[in-house]
């Protein structure tokens, strides 16, 4: 056997043995996994935790590697829930519908459907987070078997405890390995959330600190009012827009996302009640209701919620000096037009004067152009025996300036400035 040159002769390194090196490697891995959390505003995480608190199945849509699995792991740790991950695409339909087990006398006792081991572990624990991963790569037969699990929490003959929450994740079909579109019945059982990455969150997390996932703080005093508010909003919208009660999309791709049905409207109602009781931001509620019933119907519900939150015109007329007007321009103009309409319905000199005082307050606290149309309408309600209030003088400049600006804009040629 030839002798290796001196330069290529192998030498056993001095120091700890190979087994000890693996122990040191394990210590290094533990240090890398040792991360902290911090309170940090995160709208998509807030939407996820609110839906989990409302006990609604959530489906996270995002590109591969975006952090969906990591987010669920952190959520389970933060909520102190045991995490059970089930890769839907590698299971058979019987893994969700149950395996038939023949007993002593099938003719008398029947053939029970035995649940898989992961479902038994969840039932024994009494609580947990069931994570159904890779949902968009599950074939149609598996998706059909998942219907009862997602809606009724049943796996074979076993019913999962109330303390179990269900969250799923999926990749868009274009980026999924052998992906399938979600069936319409399965898609309609989820609240769909688009999961994206935040550059600052990723950098901060890789540095060792991730956002804290906390359940929303529900105010016990607001629970009855929150339920009544949500019911008025959803029922009021569907009363005026009955065609929104059920709209099955015409394309397969859209059927795999959120769309309105009595089931998804019930989810939107529950989410609205929870968000109201928790004082959740409008952005988070928007993500949730659009994820339940779709963008168009969800935006209509949000618009109705905005109008329901507007102050009563009679309350504003009773104390116009200290009136609290909405900050958003569209809502402020709606309020001012409502005040003018209230005066028109019950004309009175004192109410007319109070409306002018309110317009002055709107001028002082917001954009001047918002008072132009209400002021013009209010001026047209004047009776011959009503004196012109001093408040009109304070509004005259803003109204005149706005009208001059409108006329100037109207006289600009269509092609000017190009």
DSSP string spanning 22-64? HHHHHHHHHHHH--EEE----HHHHHHHHHHHTT--EEEE--T
Instruction: Say if residue 72 is in the same domain as residue 189.
Output: yes
Instruction: Say if residue 49 is in the same domain as residue 142.
Output: yes
- The whole-number pLDDT of residue 175 equals 60
d(CA 135, CA 209): 29
Instruction: Say if residue 198 is in the same domain as residue 119.
Output: yes
Domain's final residue, options 256, 274, 308: 308
Residues with Cβ within 8 Å of 175's Cβ and at least 6 positions away in sequence, in order, are 63, 64
Instruction: Say if residue 63 is in the same domain as residue 201.
Output: yes
Instruction: Say if residue 93 is in the same domain as residue 134.
Output: yes
The structural domain count of the chain equals: 3
Instruction: Say if residue 45 is in the same domain as residue 113.
Output: yes
- The whole-number pLDDT of residue 418 equals 40
Domain's final residue, options 308, 337, 370: 308
d(CA 55, CA 216): 13
Instruction: Say if residue 60 is in the same domain as residue 79.
Output: yes
Q: What are the start-end ranges of the H helices in 309-348?
A: 313-318, 329-345
Task: Count helices and strands (H / E) in the chain.
Answer: 19, 11
The answer to whether residue 207 is domain-embedded is: yes
Name the residue among 166, 70, 54 with its Cα closest to residue 118: 166
Residues 355 and 340: beta-carbon distance below 8 Å: yes
The Cα angle at residue 258 between residues 254 and 263, in degrees rounded to 5: 130
Name the residue among 384, 328, 301 with its Cα closest to residue 336: 328
The answer to whether residue 14 is domain-embedded is: no
Domain's final residue, options 253, 284, 308: 308
Instruction: Say if residue 45 is in the same domain as residue 132.
Output: yes
Instruction: Say if residue 196 is in the same domain as residue 248.
Output: no
- The whole-number pLDDT of residue 5 equals 54
Residues with Cβ within 8 Å of 118's Cβ and at least 6 positions away in sequence, in order, are 84, 86
- The whole-number pLDDT of residue 30 equals 93
d(CA 266, CA 77): 29
The answer to whether residue 23 is domain-embedded is: no
Instruction: Say if residue 62 is in the same domain as residue 154.
Output: yes
- Would you call 15 helix, strand, or coil by DSSP? coil
pLDDT in tens, the chain (418 residues): 555 555 444 555 555 555 688 889 999 999 998 888 888 888 999 999 999 999 999 999 988 888 888 888 888 888 889 999 999 888 888 888 877 776 666 666 666 778 888 999 999 999 999 999 988 888 889 999 999 999 889 998 899 999 999 999 998 866 655 667 889 999 999 999 999 888 888 888 888 888 887 888 999 999 999 999 999 999 999 998 999 999 999 988 899 999 999 999 999 999 999 999 999 999 999 999 999 999 999 999 998 998 887 888 888 999 888 888 888 888 888 889 889 999 999 998 999 989 998 998 888 888 888 888 888 888 888 888 888 777 677 776 655 544 443 443 344 444 444 4
The answer to whether residue 7 is domain-embedded is: no
d(CA 300, CA 241): 10
Q: What are the start-end ranges of the H helices in 327-390?
A: 329-345, 349-365, 372-379
Q: How many CB atoms lie within 10 A of CB 326?
A: 17
- Nearest-Å Rg of the Cα atoms of the chain is 31
Q: Would you put residue 221 in left (φ > 0), alpha (ψ -120 to 50) or beta?
A: alpha
- The whole-number pLDDT of residue 107 equals 61
Residue 238 corresponds to which tokens in the numbers above?
């569907």
Residues 119 and 156: beta-carbon distance below 8 Å: yes
Residues 197 and 67: beta-carbon distance below 8 Å: yes
Name the residue among 177, 190, 186, 179 with its Cα closest to residue 96: 186
Instruction: Say if residue 188 is in the same domain as residue 134.
Output: yes
Residues 289 and 298: beta-carbon distance below 8 Å: yes
Write down the pTM of the prediction: 0.76
The answer to whether residue 3 is domain-embedded is: no
The answer to whether residue 27 is domain-embedded is: no
Phi, psi of 131 (to 5 degrees): -110, 110
- The whole-number pLDDT of residue 20 equals 87
Query: Strand 36-38 to strand 209-211: parallel, antiparallel, or no bridges (unpaired)?
Result: parallel
The answer to whether residue 17 is domain-embedded is: no
Phi, psi of 296 (to 5 degrees): -60, -60
Instruction: Say if residue 272 is in the same domain as residue 319.
Output: no
- The whole-number pLDDT of residue 123 equals 92
The answer to whether residue 6 is domain-embedded is: no
Residues 317 and 342: beta-carbon distance below 8 Å: yes
Residue 382 corresponds to which tokens in the numbers above?
């004047």
Q: Which domain holds residue 347?
A: 313-411
């Amino acid at each position: 056997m030839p002798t290796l040159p001196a330069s290529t002769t192998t030498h056993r390194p001095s120091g700890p043995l190979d087994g000890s090196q693996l122990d040191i490697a394990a210590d290094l891995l533990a240090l890398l996994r040792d991360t902290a959390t911090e309170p940090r505003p995160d709208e998509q995480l807030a939407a996820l935790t609110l839906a989990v608190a409302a006990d609604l199945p959530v489906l996270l849509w995002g590109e591969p590697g975006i952090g969906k699995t990591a987010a669920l792991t952190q959520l389970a740790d933060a909520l102190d829930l045991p995490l059970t991950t089930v890769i839907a695409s590698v299971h058979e339909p019987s893994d969700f519908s149950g395996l038939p087990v023949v007993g002593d006398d099938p003719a008398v006792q029947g053939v029970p459907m035995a649940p898989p081991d992961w479902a038994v572990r969840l039932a024994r624990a009494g609580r947990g987070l069931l994570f159904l991963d890779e949902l968009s790569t599950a074939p149609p037969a598996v998706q059909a078997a998942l219907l009862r699990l997602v809606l009724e929490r049943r796996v074979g003959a076993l019913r999962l405890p109330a303390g179990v929450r269900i969250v799923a994740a999926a990749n868009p079909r274009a980026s999924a390995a052998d992906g399938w579109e979600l069936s319409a019945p399965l898609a309609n059982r989820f609240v769909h959330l688009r999961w994206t990455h935040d550059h600052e969150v990723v950098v901060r997390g890789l540095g060792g600190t991730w956002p804290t996932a906390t359940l929303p703080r529900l105010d016990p005093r607001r629970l009855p009012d929150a339920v009544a508010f949500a019911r008025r909003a959803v029922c009021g919208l569907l009363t005026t827009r009955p065609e929104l009660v059920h709209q099955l999309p015409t394309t397969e791709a859209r059927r795999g996302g959120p769309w309105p049905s009595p089931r998804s409207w019930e989810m939107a109602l529950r989410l609205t009640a929870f968000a109201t009781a928790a004082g959740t931001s409008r952005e988070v509620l928007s993500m949730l209701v659009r994820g339940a019933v779709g963008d168009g119907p969800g935006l209509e519900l949000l618009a109705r919620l905005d109008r329901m939150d507007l102050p009563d015109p009679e309350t504003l007329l009773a104390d116009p000096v200290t009136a609290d007007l909405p900050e958003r321009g569209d809502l402020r103009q709606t309020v001012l037009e409502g005040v003018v309409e209230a005066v028109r319905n019950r004309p009175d000199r004192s109410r007319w004067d109070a409306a002018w005082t309110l317009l002055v307050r709107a001028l002082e606290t917001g954009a001047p152009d918002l008072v132009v149309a209400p002021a013009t309408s209010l001026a047209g309600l004047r009776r011959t025996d009503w004196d012109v209030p001093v408040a009109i003088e304070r509004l005259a400049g803003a109204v005149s300036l706005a009208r001059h600006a409108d006329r100037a804009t109207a006289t600009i040629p269509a092609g000017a400035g190009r």
